[in-house]
Structure 1
């Protein structure tokens, strides 16, 4: 009797996820001794771990360009502006591949897209060893690596978090976003040492092999959806309904989401602010911090280590930002992030020296905490305003991020060639960040309607 009352108290037990109706245990039924035991760790966390490692590998070559600008300039005599143009192509393709990669993951599966992307990165990085002209730099460093990296952009993080998590989604988004920062931490000091020792070719080969080494791990452990393992997403309740599979026409869906989103003011505000985010991170600091510090006498390995240290605190800041996004208004978080970032950039020109000092360390720590802390709240706003298409829409917002990064990566190189200094680039980016802080506050707050399904406003 006691056992029967216990069974009645705990209610129906979900024993399997399938297309059939769940089967409950009643008072008269005896639980089967062969019933599967729920795993102590939900499979979603293993998928998130593999995705995190994938993003570390993908970040390897993206972390390399700033370290190679001076070596390529010294060996081939190419201007910093022309080398920065290859970086711009990389960043541009990285951004504009992302929306289509998100849709392709929906249609053909995450594993296939990610494996192909890693192979592209490995190929592009490896082929740079034999280049002897600028067009080859653009092809390998810009096109191949840009396409591969774009297929595993931040939209990949949004896809994993959206499919596998209901609870802790903001936190997981922050952790996965920080995978790129961890890639900087792993690769930049090593690349800097290789450049100073065996040379930049050894650095390119090392990154190529590391990206390729991730492929077997993806094939072995990464799964497309929770239903593939017979489980619900982490935190999903009994009322969870599996989303329908994406219809044919991945590219058409991506373009359709852009056309619909572009009719709204929210999209343009998010795109503009995120373009400034890309300009002030990947485009400026990520590409030009090392040569900017080196021109003040700082050794390349030391400057690369400082950039890697930014990655350490980026990891902390982004995870914390994901936690904050689950609890606070993402608009206000973004406004604070952009305002503080812009202020720090205005002080940067006065901080460069031939050695590391406390003020520069403070900048590195502060900028690292703020680096991509903007991502979790931006993804949250895309989901809030664009519903189920939020992941694809974020892919286009990410494209604007990389467009801003590409323009500034090239523009800062030109500024250095023309003026002999990066000072104008640092201060201009600081002013732009103030504009972004104002822009995000014009986005509607929590509880906004799904703009891709709502009727147009009469205003």
Structure 2
């Protein structure tokens, strides 16, 4: 009888973890506010007379709160286990998001609610869910991470029309209640039933042990960590800046509103493709080389979009490359942490890199908008972003061989891990 490949075996026992994590990420803090606030903003403006800048400043608050709440969630997951942190955060995030329905026109109250959403919902970020997935997968780690993080893209496709439908039928307050119920009624019960710990489960068949790898103090002394953090800041800035500004970038170059509406949804679609393709690629090829190619290509997008005039085809290609890279960046971060530092301090390490990522992603949209306000175009910031993407992606090549090899299992003999030509051989 032919033996099943290890990747098949991993997915046969680990698919519940992937499904629960995909829903947890997709209905968590990362996508829910960002995909829906733009639809709700005009109704808050009409109700309270708030300016758009005042309304969207709530999202800015979440970015800054996550800078310390994300690492805190990672610390708690390492201390108490991923499952209780993720489940508790789903419940509290759901309640906090529904609290926006009770806004009364007070901006301080509105901003405090957003702060509570970020603080209580930090456990729903990829920091926690990818920790569980990394424990349960090894041979197909990249693909499993891609499927997990695909949740943000799937929700992104339906979020805006679903929010508009809720507002039409239940008003903006009802929409906040309905959106807040999604993690409580969908993600929470699935995660409760299917998401399992590896930290304290002595009967677990997970492929990676929590004790594998470097301690956090050892990781902090590694130059590889700081190289990754420095690289992810310009990358996240250059990818995060154009996306919320894309409609204005296209309008500034003469595209009609109906054409803009046709083009911008391709960001979400290409991100979905990037999740799957990126995960498949890093399972089979050296991840820094994959990062160099995929994260450098959007530099071409930035240069095309920086032109005073560009065609529909150029705009479509640019949007696709940016979206594809956005679909890969989180996968790469999680994969890098697991392969270069191991699982012993995964949440703390991922949290620190997530902070670096958030700095770039949080500043990008505002700097892009400020650049347009000052110059009337995006040429300078897009050109700088193209350079940042190439330099940031190229720096990953210095990481060298993986320091934590793929796990040895009965389905994969030791010889598969000791080949001198294997890129998964630990660094000496």
TM-score, normalised via structure 1 length: 0.72
Which of 79, 93, 110 is the matching residue for 1:137?
110
Q: What is the aligned counterpart of 2:122 among 142, 150, 162?
A: 150
Residue 91 of structure 1, CA deviation: 2.3
Equivalent position of 1:223 in the other structure: 196
How many correspondences in the alignment?
392
Unmatched 5+ stretches in structure 2: 4-8, 406-428
1:437 aligns with 2:393: yes
Contact kept? 1:90, 1:146, Cα under 8 Å:
yes
Q: How big is the shift at 1:397?
A: 0.5
Secondary structure class of the residue paired with 1:318? helix
- In the superposition, relative to structure 1, how do residues 390 and 121 fare at CA in structure 2: closer, same or farther (>3 Å)? closer
Instruction: Choose between structure 1 and 2: higher helix proportion.
Output: 2
Match of 2:183 in 1: 211
Which residue pairs with 2:337 in the alignment?
A: 382
Task: Give 1:413 shift.
Answer: 4.3
| Separation in 2, partners of 1:350, 1:74 | 37
Choose from 198, 204, 224 the match for 1:266.
224
Structure 1 residue 315, shift from structure 2 partner: 1.9
Partner of 1:366: 321
Deviation at 1:117? 1.9
Q: Which of 309, 330, 335 is 2:287 aligned to? A: 330
Question: Is 1:398 paired with 2:329?
Answer: no
Q: Say what the alpha-carbon RMSD is for the aligned residues.
A: 3.9
**Residues 294-333 of structure 1, C-alpha deviation per residue, up to 9 Å, x if partnerless?**
7878669974x85554222212212211121122222222
1:19-58 matched pairs, under 5 angstroms: 42-58=12-28
Note closer, same or farther for the CA distance 1:266–1:192 as it changes in structure 2 (3 Å cut).
farther
Bigger shift: residues 215-224 or 316-325: 215-224
Deviations 1:270-293 (A, max 9, x none): 112222233234x42454445666
Spell out, residue by residue over 1:139-183, the C-alpha distance to the aligned partner (whole angstroms, 9 max, x if none): 223x12323443222222431222212331121111112221222
User: Matched residues in 2 for 1:300 and 1:210: separation?
Assistant: 31
SS at match of 2:400: coil
Residue correspondence of structure 1 range 34-433 to structure 2 within 5 A: 42-58=12-28, 59-68=31-40, 78=50, 81-131=53-103, 132-141=105-114, 143-191=115-163, 200-213=172-185, 214-225=187-198, 228=201, 230-233=203-206, 236=207, 243=210, 257=216, 260-281=218-239, 283-289=240-246, 303=261, 307-348=264-305, 357-387=312-342, 388-415=344-371, 418=374, 425-433=381-389
Mapped to 2, the partners of 1:300 and 1:151 lie a distance apart of 39
Cα 1:212–1:285 change in 2 (3 A) is: farther
Match of residue 32 from structure 1: none
Q: Which residue of 1 aligns with 2:417?
A: none
8 Å contact from structure 1 (residues 193, 301) kept in 2: no
Identify unmatched segments of 5+ residues in structure 1: 1-5, 11-38, 246-252, 451-459
